[in-house]
Amino acid sequence: MWDYSEKVQEHFFNPRNAGAVPDANATGDVGSLSCGDALRLTLKVDPENEVILEAGFQTFGCGSAIASSSALTEIIKGMTLNEALEVTNQDIADYLDGLPAEKMHCSVMGREALQAAIANYRGEEWKDDHEEGALVCKCFAVDAVLIENTIRSNGLSTVEEVANYTKAGGGCSACHEGVEAILSRVLAEQGKTFDPYTRAPEAAPSAGGRKLGNLERIRRIERSIEAIRPNLQRDHGDVELIDIDGKNVYVNMTGACVGCQMASTTLDGIQQRIVEDLGEFVRVLPAKAMRKSA
């Protein structure tokens, strides 16, 4: 399982400022249920000095999303709107004594919700830049601007890091070429060269943690998939494990899951379950992707 800090666990089990703020005069919505994460941030702002008096959140997502949203509301209370705009996703992670690399996208979502709420208060239109041609990752609706800004502000250099921070590329992998192009351009501006074969640095294991052996790793992946199958079978679909190649887990969708419009969302759900059970980043791909890469 993830090596969560005590502060992350505290904000997950006892979230601060959960729920909508009564008489809020600012609201920010980001994400979508179909993409797996959604956050609504509500604020009560003093119109005389633009100080944030109250902040509340409603979120659909994992424990890290809840903890990040809770932390954000605590950070910004008492700030002016201009001060709050200076809050970064790294500030949110630092407040929680760190987040697992694979969960950094939760802090990015919090920052975006804050920007959207402040724009709403000021009567401005907050745009997420999901304009025609700007959408890079269709699985999670992540645009080029968010990817580029996140790369720059967090010093990212690999596709895996981008997936950890934004979820882009964590689904079907069709957008990896687009993510690599953005990485190449940003790193070139910094006098660096993008190497597609460079791996993201692995987080140090926790004090009581240990690295899984290959056999135990395979068994955990198998158990994760077996736990998901009954839900798919109830809808006349199914999934079977085909192969495991490093960080790639290849599965075959059958029955009603074949050609389903929600297939990519289903794969993301399988991937999230495996990642949570395994405690490491993996990518779940359809078996046909294995044949293409062969």
Q: Per the annotation, does 106 bind a ligand?
A: yes
**Pairing of the two strands 248-255 and 283-286:** parallel
Q: Per the annotation, does 175 bind a ligand?
A: yes
Q: Per the annotation, does 35 bind a ligand?
A: yes
H/E element holding 233?
A: helix 214-234
| Nearest residue to 29 via CA among 58, 70, 62, 4 | 58
Tokens of 284: 């779940």
3-state SS, residue 10: helix
Q: Per the annotation, does 257 bind a ligand?
A: no
Active site includes 257? no
| Nearest residue to 70 via CA among 56, 60, 80 | 56
Active site includes 106? yes
Q: Per the annotation, does 62 bind a ligand?
A: yes
3-state SS record for 66-81: HHHHHHHHHHHCCCEH
Catalytic residue among 21, 26, 35, 241: 35
DSSP 21: P
Angle, CA 214 vertex, CA 208 and CA 218 arms, to 5°: 100
Phi-psi region for residue 175, left (φ > 0), alpha (ψ -120 to 50) or beta? alpha
Q: Per the annotation, does 260 bind a ligand?
A: no
Catalytic residue among 106, 108, 117, 144: 106
How far is the C-alpha of 47 from the C-alpha of 261, rounded, in Å?
Answer: 46
Q: Residues within the annotated binding site?
A: 35, 62, 106, 137, 139, 172, 175
Q: Residues within the annotated binding site for Fe cation?
A: 35, 62, 106
- Active-site annotation, residues: 35, 106
Q: Residues within the annotated binding site for [2Fe-2S] cluster?
A: 137, 139, 172, 175
